[in-house]
Amino acid sequence: FSTVNNNAPVTRRTYTELNMRQPIMAGNWKMNPATEADALNLANGFCALLNEMADTCAMDDKEGCTEVVLFPPFPFISKVKDIVAKNGISVGAQQVYYEDKGAFTGSVAASMVKSVGCEYVLCGHSERRTLFSDSDVNINSKVKKVLEFGMKPILCIGETQEEYDLKITKEVCAMQVSKDLAGVSKQEMKNVVIAYEPVWAIGTGLVCDAESANEVHKYIRSVLSKMYDDEVAQSMRIQYGGSVTPDSVDGLMAMSDIDGCLVGGASLYADKFARIVNFQPLE
Ligand SMILES: O=C[C@H](O)COP(=O)(O)O
């Protein structure tokens, strides 16, 4: 890990120059902030900081730079999109239901989030799995529904603390990948992103060390290679998530198989998330 100087000017090269898959940084606001006014302040503050940063990666040139996606709570999506879209930043939904419409009180359909401009949808986040009983079967239906509506699922997988202690991280990830992506075609996989999030690292401050995370990412690619082929495995973008901060992002992004981060807590601070988006690749 390099020592991070948060005030250092950021020198950027495009991901193609760095011979990387296009990095994707996502901010999952979860059930925050409390009001629309606070959400719009956060979005405005984040964009203002990106604009201040010289040669920033989030601007305009989506082909050449880091892709940035924000996941605000449903009620704030439209207005946040209005603020961030002009900076080349996309918005996504934190979850959808797999049915198209009907008597599902409290649920939100893929068509609805698509119609307000969502490009991405989180599927299988561990908080949905544990707190809202999202099963692999349901997650698979949601992934397919998101793809059907022309959006891109970010499939979240990862082991719990107990599974980590039992040293079955790889088995858990392989099982989740195979069940959650069952029936997804090779063509559709171009629109899928995977986020490896060890559950024990989420919101705990316990960031998985970069080398260990990278090993799991490589293993996930080997699973994808068996399910599909090498082309899918090597082109798939795999994010790391779990207590990512400005201090840990550079080391994570220096790893060969980590293509971005799914950030929770730190994405609620405009300055922290702007610094994460502007990670500094280690030479
Ligand atoms: O979706 C984001 C992940 O759950 C990570 O959250 P965190 O950065 O607060 O640990």
What is the model's pLDDT at position 5? 45
Using the CB atoms, write b or e for 242-276: b if 16+ within 10 Å: bbbbbbbbbbbbbbebbbbbbbbbbbbbbebbbbb
Q: Residue 129: how many CB atoms within 10 A of its CB? A: 20
Atom of ligand 1 nearest to the CA of 265: 9
Distances from the Cα of 127 to the Cα of 64, 122, 149, 198, 224, angstroms: 33, 11, 24, 12, 24
Instruction: Report the C-alpha gap between 136 and 103 in whole angstroms.
Output: 23
Instruction: Report the C-alpha gap between 244 and 92 in whole angstroms.
Output: 19
Reported ipTM: the value is 0.99
Which of the listed residues 25, 28, 125, 243 should we mutate to test ligand 1's pocket, taking the one with most ligand atoms within 8 A of CB?
A: 28
Q: Which residues are catalytic?
A: 125, 197
Instruction: Report the C-alpha gap between 239 and 212 in whole angstroms.
Output: 14
Per-residue confidence in pLDDT tens, the chain, 283 aa: 233 444 444 455 566 666 679 999 999 999 999 999 999 999 999 999 998 885 555 444 555 689 999 999 999 999 999 999 999 999 999 999 999 999 999 999 999 999 999 999 999 999 999 999 999 999 999 999 999 999 999 999 999 999 999 999 999 999 999 999 999 999 999 999 999 999 999 999 888 999 999 999 999 999 999 999 999 999 999 999 999 999 999 999 999 999 999 999 999 999 999 999 999 876 6
Instruction: Tell which residue, 167, 155, 265, has the closest CA to residue 215.
Output: 167
With beta carbons less than 8 A apart as the criterion, state whether 241 and 263 touch: yes
> How far is C-alpha 260 from the chain's CA centre?
7
Atom of ligand 1 nearest to the CA of 242: 10
Instruction: Report the C-alpha gap between 19 and 152 in whole angstroms.
Output: 23
Instruction: Report the C-alpha gap between 267 and 39 in whole angstroms.
Output: 12
Give residue 242 CA to ligand 1 midpoint distance, Å: 5
Give residue 202 CA to ligand 1 midpoint distance, Å: 5
CA-closest residue to ligand 1 atom 6: 264
Instruction: Report the C-alpha gap between 39 and 29 in whole angstroms.
Output: 9
What is the model's pLDDT at position 92? 98
Burial class of residue 199 in the structure, from the number of CB atoms within 10 Å of its CB (0-12 exposed, 13-18 middle, 19+ buried) = buried
Tokens for 266? 């730190």
Burial class of residue 180 in the structure, from the number of CB atoms within 10 Å of its CB (0-12 exposed, 13-18 middle, 19+ buried) = buried
- Ligand 1 shell residues, CB under 6 Å: 28, 125, 197, 202-203, 241-244, 262-266
Tokens for 114? 């698509």
Tokens 């939904």 identify what position? 93
